Structure 1
Amino acid sequence: MSDKPNNFLFIFSDQHTRRAAGCYGHSLVKTPHLDRLAEHGTLYKNAYCNGPICVPSRGSLATGRYVNDSTLEVWDNCSPYYGQAPSWGHRLMDQGHRVVSIGKLHYRDTADDNGFDESIVPMHIIQGVGMLYTLLRDPMPTGRAFPHGVRNAGVGNSTYLDYDRDITERALAWIKNEAPTHTDKPWALFVSLVCPHPPWVAPPEFYDLYPHQDLDMPLAYGLDERPMHPGLEDYRTNFGVQGEFDDATLRKVIAAYYGMISYLDDNIGKLISALEASGLADTTRILYTSDHGESMGQKGMFSKCNMYEESVGVPMIMSGPGIPSGKEIATPVQLLDVFPTILEATGVQIMDEDQELPGTSLLQLAQGDEPDRVIFSEQHSAGAKSAVYLLRRGDWKYVRYMEDYPPQLFNMASDPNEFNDLAGDPAYQDECDRCEAALRGLIDPEDVDQRAKAKQAERIELGGGVEAVLAKGSPGYTPAPGEDPTFR
């Protein structure tokens, strides 16, 4: 690996599940530009978000800290990042590097010190408040907005597609016109696209890549085959997906989701081509990942916010000078690893207070496998009555519910689709105990759960109380800049 500092192009998407890309082995989803990026770079096979919902995931990504970190506390989509802990952008700016974002941030407000010299067409949480409806956890309401989005999926145009077009065009202009002017120190450009996040509407030329009759249907979707667990039933109720969508609706939403991924990939290809045309490809490292995944019907689940691989697993690909070419890394990695990665890649000195952060640079992790590395993720809102924690430890994946529900345990080597929950088998009690001890070595699960609930209760009261929040409903997604939210 080259130790020379390089520019950094960070391409980020929203709700792209790890397995939905050609380079990750999907036989249908067409992602030629991501495939080429992986062919010439390093692909991380087991990458995870640290919180499977937008705002917490992005706060953790920015700061290299767990969602529950006492200096961060980005519990939910109403607890945004506002500069309360230093971001990787702050560290680069402090040492004189140019740091620019284009597109979705999902922080509190542009007026905050968010760690960028310039934020171009940013998207933040709704009115600096977010989606209070997602904080209603016990009793948990039945979702209305999400089923509407599934039933209205299909082909056409949307404000999100337009937003990604604008983001891409502005990023192309920045790479062509501004990037070559920063020659004294490496620059960092964060291009944050919104696809394939709902609304699930794909442009015709990408939707038509996926004829309905050719689609792979979700595994274990039917009522008589999906896994039953009280935590999963809470989730399905809260998202309004406790029943079944008909076959035609499923095929339409899957085609739209895949089409949006191919549209995303096309925009990524434009960015890479612009970098090559500018003559900067040999001095720029590229990272692609997403804030969380998408369940898309698997095991009777839709959206994110749960701990199955479809929801919590994200693609992670890195390419550029010094990055091993055509390499796949099995070591589990997580979004908070991005913080030290960008600092190392751009030659920025690690501050003393950052030495104890839990992440490890992806540049270092690309040098060899560490299969027993521990990964942690957490969910404190939408679909979870109480905290849900994920611990990945070697081949084992342990899901711990703070509600009085049984845990789940999966062997990811022998059961990658997570169909065989071993937590109730006495033969695996020792492994459950080891995972529980490892979890408690990271956090105090009860304390973290109570801290989140206390902060959420305060926010609900500021929003007028439970009845007012219920009456207002949820918009389903954060509107693009210039678009008004529609509550349901």
Structure 2
Amino acid sequence: MPAASNVLIIMSDEHNKAIAGCYGNRVVATPNIDALAARGTLFEAAYTNCPVCVPARASFACGRYVHDIGHWDNADPYDGTRPSWHHILRAGGHEVSSIGKLHFRSAADDYGFTQSLIPMHVVEEKGDLLGLVRDELPKRKGSWKMARLAGPGESSYTFYDRDIAARAQTWLREAAARPHEKPWVLFVSFVAPHFPLTAPPEHYYRYYDDPNLEWPKLYEEEARPAHPYLREYAECFAYDEHFASRDDVRRALAGYYGLVGFLDENIGKLLKMLDAIGLSETTRVVYVSDHGDNLGARGLWGKSTMYEEAVSVPLIAAGPGLGAGERVKAPVSLVDLSASILSWAGEDRPADWPGEDLAQVARARPEGRVTFSEYHGMGSKAGFYMLRDGRYKYVHYVDHPAQLFDLEADPQELNDLAGDPAHSHVLARLRAELYAICDPDDTDRRAKARQREQLRLAGGREAVIARGDLGFSPPPGFSPDFNL
């Protein structure tokens, strides 16, 4: 293993990995992400440990699964109580700084960073209280924002990302140039391409005017799968009800693609600065997202499903010990990245962390490796879980039929094999793997018990519904916009 090095982690929010050139997209322009992949290692089967922001980021911070740390949903943010990789690095004498979105509880808590610039946290230290209502799911009143805000322009999020990029360049130029006894670690967290799907015009029109912009998979009503959870989620969030025409869909797609291009531009600024100060070859650089986005596939928008669009993430790592131009098929997840950051900076990971060093996974190419994700949040009446091995994906629902997909033969997840007797042995094997990680029914009970108590403390169902639907968290300097 190469010696310890500086580590730059660049995280985006809600990036569907299929919308990147290095992952095979022929329409979107992502030259900087693609260049990072060309000089580094791309993980083809990387996953979030929860397909929604707050628990995904809590899990990544703590290096452990959601059911282990108890930050279940977007109303249960990380509060710094459990040790994070930031805490471990700071205690080990490293400078470890964050710039941008954290989505933790509040700036008053100690998350282990030496410095945290312009952090974005959940609203009112509470977050999305509507997600606590899991019986008789309420219809989200802010869902119109997905369709109606799509178009050319600037938003609070693009302003925020510009500030993040500027401060990150400054940090690299000034802070990284200072003498350090141990490697530094910088976590830069952008919000693009998370909606609102308002993209700077030079990026937006590039795609709105492109005749090759691909229509969402299985978007037409008659083509959408009839799984009961998908119906629950769609009826609760109701995003698609506000897409009245094909042009509405096209504007949303162009906005999303444009935001990916805008994100890539900002990533390029950081990589150019790293090169300018002479640290590109000796710094391990990672690009990753917290989760993906359904982006209209199956009539769904947002995240909160275990389809590849929402649960898989782009993950690219370059630098010492990471081969140039390599592609790794072994499944990995964000908790592997948590463990890797410690290893790359020269620290040991805690014994109870399930993740492994990504560089070692890339070298070993292990057969039969399994990765795991879970969901206990908004739009769902009960928990569900995902296991991915080299070929198959198994989705276990506490209150609905399971799903099974052969991702080698069916990468688009068009054919659910859960009811096929020829695959019953695969279903049984992956179900046993799930129970080796957690008891899904007991985990669901624990999540709901916590949520019922939080709902009680928040004044109950009616008070939470009366508070309204936020839609998306405001960045620093902007006020929340609740839609009742």
Please indicate the TM-score interval, normalised by the length of the shorter structure.
over 0.9
Greater CA drift, 94-103 or 279-288: 279-288
In structure 2, C-alpha distance between the alignment counterparts of 1:399 and 1:349, rounded to whole Å = 32
Per the alignment, in what secondary structure is the counterpart of residue 261 of structure 2?
A: helix
What is the aligned partner in structure 2 of residue 60 from structure 1? 59
Greater CA drift, 324-333 or 150-159: 150-159
What is the aligned partner in structure 1 of residue 362 from structure 2? 366
What is the aligned partner in structure 2 of residue 378 from structure 1? 374
How many angstroms does 1:276 deviate by?
Answer: 0.6
In structure 1, C-alpha distance between the alignment counterparts of 2:175 and 2:131, rounded to whole Å = 40
In structure 2, C-alpha distance between the alignment counterparts of 1:340 and 1:197, rounded to whole Å = 26
Question: Is 1:301 aligned to 2:295, yes or no?
Answer: no
What is the aligned partner in structure 2 of residue 396 from structure 1? 392
Map residues 263-278 of structure 1 onto 2, 5 A cutoff: 263-278=262-277
Does the Cα contact within 8 Å between 1:142 and 1:238 map onto a contact in 2? Answer: yes
231, 234, 245: which one aligns with 1:233: 231
In structure 2, C-alpha distance between the alignment counterparts of 1:229 and 1:252, rounded to whole Å = 28
What is the aligned partner in structure 2 of residue 325 from structure 1? 324
Question: Is 1:194 aligned to 2:191, yes or no?
Answer: yes
Does the Cα contact within 8 Å between 1:332 and 1:371 map onto a contact in 2? Answer: no
What is the aligned partner in structure 1 of residue 444 from structure 2? 449
Question: Is 1:119 aligned to 2:116, yes or no?
Answer: yes
424, 431, 434: which one aligns with 2:426: 431
CA-to-partner distance for each residue in 1:170-221, whole Å, 9 max, x for gaps? 0100100111103321000000001001111000111121125331000101
Does the Cα contact within 8 Å between 2:146 and 2:239 map onto a contact in 1? Answer: no
How many angstroms does 1:245 deviate by?
Answer: 4.2
Does the Cα contact within 8 Å between 1:55 and 1:79 map onto a contact in 2? Answer: yes
What is the aligned partner in structure 2 of residue 36 from structure 1? 35
What is the aligned partner in structure 2 of residue 387 from structure 1? 383
How many angstroms does 1:95 deviate by?
Answer: 1.0
Query: Which letter maps to 2:473?
Result: T
Per the alignment, in what secondary structure is the counterpart of residue 66 of structure 2?
A: coil
Per the alignment, in what secondary structure is the counterpart of residue 378 of structure 2?
A: coil
Q: Structure 1 residues 177 and 356 mapped into 2: Cα distance closer, same or farther (>3 Å)?
A: same
397, 409, 418: which one aligns with 1:414: 409
Per the alignment, in what secondary structure is the counterpart of residue 423 of structure 1?
A: coil
CA-to-partner distance for each residue in 1:379-406, whole Å, 9 max, x for gaps? 1011211001111123111111111x11
Per the alignment, in what secondary structure is the counterpart of residue 483 of structure 1?
A: coil
Does the Cα contact within 8 Å between 1:160 and 1:195 map onto a contact in 2? Answer: yes
Query: Which letter maps to 1:380?
Result: H
In structure 2, C-alpha distance between the alignment counterparts of 1:285 and 1:402, rounded to whole Å = 40
TM-score (norm 1): 0.97
454, 457, 464: which one aligns with 1:469: 464
How many angstroms does 1:146 deviate by?
Answer: 2.1
In structure 1, C-alpha distance between the alignment counterparts of 2:482 and 2:352, rounded to whole Å = 42
Per the alignment, in what secondary structure is the counterpart of residue 211 of structure 2?
A: helix
CA-to-partner distance for each residue in 1:274-317, whole Å, 9 max, x for gaps? 00101111221100100000000111211001100000010000
Query: Which letter maps to 2:390?
Result: G
In structure 2, C-alpha distance between the alignment counterparts of 1:166 and 1:242, rounded to whole Å = 32
81, 94, 97: which one aligns with 2:94: 97
Does the Cα contact within 8 Å between 1:329 and 1:368 map onto a contact in 2? Answer: no
Does the Cα contact within 8 Å between 1:31 and 1:265 map onto a contact in 2? Answer: yes
Q: Structure 1 residues 219 and 63 mapped into 2: Cα distance closer, same or farther (>3 Å)?
A: same
CA-to-partner distance for each residue in 1:211-255, whole Å, 9 max, x for gaps? 253310001011100111111101111110465642100000000
CA-to-partner distance for each residue in 1:311-345, whole Å, 9 max, x for gaps? 00100000112310000000001001112101111
Does the Cα contact within 8 Å between 1:212 and 1:251 map onto a contact in 2? Answer: no
Per the alignment, in what secondary structure is the counterpart of residue 459 of structure 1?
A: helix
Query: Which letter maps to 2:362?
Result: A
Does the Cα contact within 8 Å between 1:34 and 1:265 map onto a contact in 2? Answer: yes
Does the Cα contact within 8 Å between 1:154 and 1:256 map onto a contact in 2? Answer: yes
Question: Is 1:145 aligned to 2:142, yes or no?
Answer: yes
Per the alignment, in what secondary structure is the counterpart of residue 149 of structure 1?
A: helix
Question: Is 1:207 aligned to 2:207, yes or no?
Answer: no
**Structure 1 residue ranges without an equivalent (≥5):** none
Query: Which letter maps to 2:217?
Result: L
What is the aligned partner in structure 1 of residue 217 from structure 2? 219
Query: Which letter maps to 1:390?
Result: M
Does the Cα contact within 8 Å between 2:58 and 2:71 map onto a contact in 1? Answer: yes
**Structure 2 residue ranges without an equivalent (≥5):** none
Q: Structure 1 residues 439 and 219 mapped into 2: Cα distance closer, same or farther (>3 Å)?
A: same
What is the aligned partner in structure 1 of residue 18 from structure 2? 19
What is the aligned partner in structure 1 of residue 479 from structure 2? 484
Q: Structure 1 residues 226 and 325 mapped into 2: Cα distance closer, same or farther (>3 Å)?
A: same
What is the aligned partner in structure 1 of residue 348 from structure 2? 349
In structure 2, C-alpha distance between the alignment counterparts of 1:201 and 1:242, rounded to whole Å = 17
Query: Which letter maps to 2:37?
Result: A
Across the aligned residues of Structure 1 and Structure 2, the Cα RMSD in angstroms comes to 1.2
In structure 1, C-alpha distance between the alignment counterparts of 2:144 and 2:295, rounded to whole Å = 12
Percent of aligned positions with the same letter in both sequences?
A: 46
Per the alignment, in what secondary structure is the counterpart of residue 366 of structure 1?
A: helix
In structure 2, C-alpha distance between the alignment counterparts of 1:175 and 1:73, rounded to whole Å = 34
Does the Cα contact within 8 Å between 1:475 and 1:487 map onto a contact in 2? Answer: yes
Does the Cα contact within 8 Å between 1:98 and 1:182 map onto a contact in 2? Answer: no
TM-score (norm 2): 0.97
Per the alignment, in what secondary structure is the counterpart of residue 367 of structure 1?
A: helix
Does the Cα contact within 8 Å between 2:145 and 2:196 map onto a contact in 1? Answer: no
In structure 1, C-alpha distance between the alignment counterparts of 2:352 and 2:453, rounded to whole Å = 31
In structure 1, C-alpha distance between the alignment counterparts of 2:468 and 2:274, rounded to whole Å = 43
How many angstroms does 1:106 deviate by?
Answer: 0.4
In structure 2, C-alpha distance between the alignment counterparts of 1:107 and 1:182, rounded to whole Å = 30
How many angstroms does 1:111 deviate by?
Answer: 1.6
